[in-house]
Structure 1
């Protein structure tokens, strides 16, 4: 996918579903942290939290008691509409969902105590600008080695870059933006999807296999994949993630 295709895909998913995968039945083994639990640990009750690329806002809303004000931003109209509807339904008066670009955050310098970003692009310089001195930035991202057997089965994947490329780029950008105490962690967990329908939902609502279902042979590849990787625990693939924490 090029940038235009990805944005169109992301906007469509946002309008249809937000970033809510709670209906997917999947068991993971080897996950070393829960990202939004890590965010909550860094928040004080009087803190202001910014979540970049908040998607449908489901995860941010779960943290409403962790900080005084929580702001989720996303640049996709469909995602923001879903996030705002989710926030209204939840009735959380201290949570705001706004349409905003990560490289042009419309808040003053030093406004937030904590900035988070999960599975979305961010601008290190902008994150640094809106953080207070001593503030903390956290991001979790999908590693290039994620869902490696799916990429092999379909002959295409979200990225062809070498594993670790994105992690190293972000560490360099955060360093250049003036962050200190930069730490990285990663895991490569096994995932077991209970049914074929659970796996199809994942593929339709993520760019793991670009344009899944549109290429000739996709469903034959899917059947072959399921036959090869079905186990007593479910259909196996992997989830590879890295997390970076940094202090301004």
Structure 2
């Protein structure tokens, strides 16, 4: 419930818009929505699961006929619709919907995507056409490792790296996907100023309830001193990418 309230609050504020945040990454092997655009065709219909504020999924608008972004958060959907109007993307629609209960016909989409959010593999398979592609980028347990070690808490803190990836691969196989590929990267990430890293922690659940523990700001300042480099304040961005195809119907 705390995570959901945080997510709703973030949706009302700015969605997942980090365009003002000054940071750079070294070693990121792909850009997720550009990768998705490589697999979409001019006439394709795409579903984006957990679309957030819609800022990123609109990158697909030019490469397909229709993009439908869904999110469980009403506030996120409102922000996404506002962003869609500002971006003048008439072929992008945003709907409030749960990933485990998709209100679409079977075989409706050519492609489904999901970035940094849970999804239901069986539901994704149901609404995809035979031969349709599913792409998902997720945050690995080893992401922001030095930050979580510094604070002694965080997303997936203490969990074995790779557990989430293994579970999702099994679920995709059980849902009827084939030719499953998995790619990983662990990139160095540099935040230009302490204010940039502070913005990240205030607008993501990387460190749960950041700022509410009495020692949080002291820990934050100590982390800055220990991880300051000539390129910025260093941490890491660890991601994995799953690509799978819905099996063709047997004749």
**TM-score range normalised by the length of the shorter chain:** over 0.9
Task: Find the counterpart in structure 1 of residue 197 from structure 2.
Answer: 199
Q: Post-superposition shift, 1:216? A: 1.0
Task: Find the counterpart in structure 1 of residue 222 from structure 2.
Answer: 224
Q: Deviations over 1:226-246 (max 9, x none)?
A: 000000100000000000000
Instruction: Tell me how large the CA RMSD over aligned residues is.
Output: 0.6
Normalised TM-score (structure 1): 0.98
Q: Deviations over 1:71-122 (max 9, x none)?
A: 0000001111100111111221110011000000110000000000000000
> Contact 2:186–2:239 at 8 Å: present in 1 too?
yes
Runs of 4+ in 1 over 6 A off after TM superposition: none
Task: Find the counterpart in structure 1 of residue 210 from structure 2.
Answer: 212
Q: Which runs of 5+ in 2 are unaligned?
A: 247-251
Task: Find the counterpart in structure 2 of residue 13 from structure 1.
Answer: 10
Q: Give the distance between the partners of 1:184 and 1:208, measured in 2 at CA.
A: 23
Residue of structure 2 aligned with 1:163, choices 161, 164, 188: 161
Residue of structure 2 aligned with 1:76, choices 46, 54, 73: 73
In the alignment of these two chains, the number of paired residues is 245
Task: Find the counterpart in structure 1 of residue 249 from structure 2.
Answer: none
Where 1:61 maps in the other structure, the secondary structure is helix
Q: Give the distance between the partners of 1:184 and 1:216, measured in 2 at CA.
A: 40
Residue of structure 1 aligned with 2:47, choices 26, 50, 58: 50
Task: Find the counterpart in structure 2 of residue 90 from structure 1.
Answer: 87
> Contact 2:34–2:59 at 8 Å: present in 1 too?
no
Correspondence list, 1:1-248, <5 A: 4-160=1-157, 161-248=159-246
Where 2:28 maps in the other structure, the secondary structure is coil
Q: Give the distance between the partners of 2:4 and 2:244, measured in 1 at CA.
A: 28
Q: Deviations over 1:190-215 (max 9, x none)?
A: 00000000000000011110000000
Q: Give the distance between the partners of 1:81 and 1:176, measured in 2 at CA.
A: 34
Normalised TM-score (structure 2): 0.97
Q: Give the distance between the partners of 2:30 and 2:135, measured in 1 at CA.
A: 13
Where 2:210 maps in the other structure, the secondary structure is coil
Q: Deviations over 1:138-180 (max 9, x none)?
A: 0000000000000011111111321001000000000000100
Q: Give the distance between the partners of 1:134 and 1:27, measured in 2 at CA.
A: 36
